[in-house]
Amino acid sequence: MDLTLTPTWSIELESDSPVARFAAEELRRTLRRIGAPDLPVLARADGPRILMRHGPGGDGFLRAPDAGGLVLRGDGPRGLLYATYDLLEALGCRWVAPGPDGERLPRHERVTLPAAGLADRPALAGRGLIIGHDHFLSEAKPWVEWAARARLSAIFIHTIGRGPAMGACRLASWRARRRAILPLIAARGLDLELGGHHLSDLVPRRLFRERPELFRHDGARRTPDYNFCPSHPETQAVLRERGAAFFAAYPEAQIYHLWPDDVLGGGWCHCPRCAGLAPADQALLAANTLGEALAALRPDARVSYLAYHDTEDAPRAMRPHPQVELIFAPRPRSYGQSIGDPASPINAPYAARLAENIALFGQGGAFKRGEPSLENLPRSSVFEYYLDGILFKSSLPPLPELIAADLAHYRDAGVGSVHALMTGDRPWVSAPLNAHLFARLAWSPEQDVAALVAGYAAARAPRAPEALARAYAALGAAWRAALDQPPLIPDLIDPMRLLLPLELNRAEGAQGPGGGGGQRIVEVV
């Protein structure tokens, strides 16, 4: 049949899913913007129609012409939204970056739907954008809109409760903004992840004066700095109580990140109970304790265990609670070679550690909102730094080949989700090519990266796309020598050492080094 849209056409959708309704309205609005008639959205169409249907869950979709017009079907409501954006892209629409500057819509005298069918699903079940600074949180609306159009599946608000917010949003900033941002996330069916290095906030340092046994033993004495004593029964009781308060205060999240302190090493306990537990086992013990608290409240949610710095090696003595998932953060890796390059002396150990962790935590399929069973949820995710303005000094190197190779390796290794950290306290020097590349390649790492860069350049600089593509190639070449080494981790002033005296004196006035301190749960949540 003729697939040219006329006023006799309609959009047929019979669904009570808010995400499916949003997809139908997004299709109607955008078709009208590019030159099609304003098609009504009906439960039953009398004439030619775009039929929109979805199953119970999943991100895959298909598009197929039929005798009545065109069928869009998603495995779930979010898959239907992706089918909608895929159709609009087939008609020439492009959203390569957030906001009006990243949008390119054609203008057609007549809009004719594609006659070719298509079935597609993502290579990685989870594909997340990490909003990691108040600067980007203030611009969250266009980023959420873009993330859905780019077929990402999750927004991760990376937060910090106390201390300098160098690579994270302040938790108070999220509380102030979440009422405006949550409807945008929910309308698009995106999953929400929340948190960061909050674990030590859950055992307030003001308790040290009366209960020093809750805190870590540094080999000589008990000390309230860094992480606590995770094996002490009373510490675990405090973790359960305050963890449950955190979960109740932020019911919007599907995955909670409550990680240990961000130190290279040496922040763990050496008491007799903990002496036989490596840092990874102590961290997993704490995560398991939080998993127990979460299980009583939210069978559909998870808490993460962070493999990072001295917890990169897989735990040996502990096994993960069913509601604890892995997030692996290879921060000191080299960005000169793929994470899976066996010839890279820097990256090969990270790939091996990741494989060991995945063997412990397992893998699974797509995260489905509200599903009571955890059987199909991904157990392993990766925290990547392609958009890290701190690491790359606000000048992100174009990484098309590396991102493609990384994501292919992560998929083949059994990783369920990959997230890209977007942080830095100022705008990037250049436009966020890596964000576009990450989203596209997380869906399908085998895409032609040169074509992706060319398409991005055509959307960003339609009058001189070749010049922009050449500029990215030159910038990538200039970065290459600097990337062929592990990222420098400078000896920064330890924010814990700056905060600790203040916190120890806060609870009951200045009481000397044995006084209490820290933050009450109301300050954490």
Strand-pair partners of 192: 155
Q: What is the mean pLDDT of residues 262-272?
A: 91
Decide if 1 is inside a domain: no
Q: Could you tell me if 141 and 272 lie in one domain?
A: yes
The residue range of the domain holding 358 is 126-426+483-503
β-strand partners of 69: 49, 66
In a domain, 443, yes or no: no
* Contact yes or no for 149/85 (Cβ under 8 A): yes
Domain CATH for 166 = 3.20.20
Q: Which residues, listed in sequence order, are joined to residue 103 by a DSSP beta bridge? A: 95
Strand pairing partners for 324? 303
Q: State the Cα angle at 338 between 333 and 342, rounded to 5°.
A: 90
Q: Is residue 242 part of a domain?
A: yes
| Range in 168-182, 232-246, 482-496 the model is least confident about | 482-496
Percentage of the chain modeled with pLDDT above 90: 81
Check pLDDT > 50 for residue 489. Answer: yes
- Residue 370: band (very low, low, confident or very high) from pLDDT cuts 50, 70, 90: very low
Residue 143: the pLDDT is: 97
pLDDT at 429: 74
Is the pLDDT reported for residue 525 higher than 70?
no
* 103 and 130 together in one domain: no
- 228 and 326 part of one domain: yes
CA distance to 25, 27, 41, 48, 288, per residue, from 64 (Å): 20, 16, 19, 14, 46
Average confidence (pLDDT) over 150-169: 90
**Same domain membership, residue 167 and residue 63:** no
Query: What is the pLDDT confidence band of residue 363, given thresholds at 50, 70 and 90?
Result: low
**272 found inside a domain:** yes
User: Is residue 372 classed as helix, strand or coil in its secondary structure?
Assistant: coil
Q: Could you tell me if 227 and 104 lie in one domain?
A: no
Q: Are residues 214 and 197 in the same domain?
A: yes
Of 286, 294, 354, give the one whose Cα is nearest residue 322. 294
Q: Do both 239 and 263 map to the same domain?
A: yes
Question: Does 509 score more than 90 pLDDT?
Answer: no
Domain boundary among 120, 152, 186: 120
Q: Which helix (H) or strand (E) holds 520?
A: none
Determine, yes or no, domain membership for 431.
no
Strand partners, 157: 131, 194
For 136-263, strand residue ranges (E) read 154-160, 169-170, 191-196, 255-258
Contact 288, 321 (CB under 8 A): yes
What pLDDT is attached to residue 166? 78
- Which residue would you say has higher pLDDT here, 229 or 432? 229
**pLDDT recorded at residue 488:** 61
**403 and 315 share a domain?**
yes
**Residues, the chain, total?**
525
pLDDT given for residue 500 in this prediction = 43
| pLDDT of 485 over the 80 cut | no
Beta pairing, strands 380-388 & 324-328: parallel
Same domain, 187 and 307: yes
Confidence of residue 320 (pLDDT cuts 50, 70, 90): very high
pLDDT, residue 427, reads: 74
Q: Measure the CA–CA gap between 347 and 353, rounded to whole angstroms.
A: 10
Last residue in a domain, options 120, 137, 157? 120
Which residue's entry shows tokens 């409760």?
161
- Taking residues 261-268, what's their average pLDDT? 88
Say if 246 falls within a structural domain: yes
Q: Are residues 113 and 134 in the same domain?
A: no
Which residues have C-beta within 8 Å of that of residue 77, sequence separation ≥ 6? 15, 17, 18, 19, 20, 23, 54, 189
Taking only the tens place, the pLDDT of each residue in 191-233 is 999 999 999 999 988 999 999 999 999 999 999 999 999 999 9
Q: What number of other Cβ atoms are within 10 A of residue 455's Cβ?
A: 17
Domain boundary among 120, 153, 172: 120
Residue 255 lies in a domain: yes
Partner residues linked to 482 by β-bridges = none
The answer to whether 405 and 116 have CB atoms below 8 angstroms apart is no
Asked if residues 332 and 308 have their Cβ atoms less than 8 Å apart, the reply is: no
Element holding 227 (H helix, E strand):
none
Q: Which two tokens stand for residue 488?
A: 């420098």
The beta strand positions in 40-162, using DSSP E, are 41-42, 49-54, 61-66, 69-74, 94-95, 103-104, 118-120, 126-131, 154-160
Identity of the residue numbered 43: A
pLDDT at 251: 97
More confident residue, 479 or 376: 479
Q: Is the pLDDT of residue 181 over 80?
A: yes
Mean pLDDT value across the chain:
89
Q: Is residue 520 part of a domain?
A: no
Distance CA 375, CA 161 (A): 32
Check residue 1 and give its pLDDT. 87
DSSP result, 97-121: SSSGGGEE----SS-B---S-EEE-
pLDDT in tens, 23-58: 999 999 999 999 999 999 999 999 999 999 999 999
Q: How many domains does the chain have?
A: 2
**Cβ distance 72 to 52 under 8 Å?**
yes
Spatial separation of the C-alpha atoms in residues 496 and 518, rounded to whole Å: 11
Mean pLDDT of 123-133: 96
Closest CA to 154 of 129, 178, 186: 129
Report the CATH number at residue 107: 3.30.379.10
Distance in angstroms (rounded) separating the CA atoms of residues 459 and 442: 20
Q: Are residues 115 and 180 in the same domain?
A: no
Which residue from 30, 105, 27 is spatially nearest to 72, judged by alpha carbons? 27
* Amino acid making up residue 403: I
Confidence at residue 112, expressed as pLDDT on a 0 to 100 scale: 98
pTM: 0.90
User: Given this model, what pLDDT does residue 510 score?
Assistant: 29
Higher pLDDT, 504 or 41: 41
The amino acid sitting at 226 is Y
**Residue 136 shares a structural domain with residue 86:** no
What distance in Å separates the CA atoms of residue 497 and residue 266, rounded to the nearest whole number?
14
> Is residue 494 scored above 60 in pLDDT?
no
Sign of torsion over alpha carbons 310, 307, 303, 194: positive
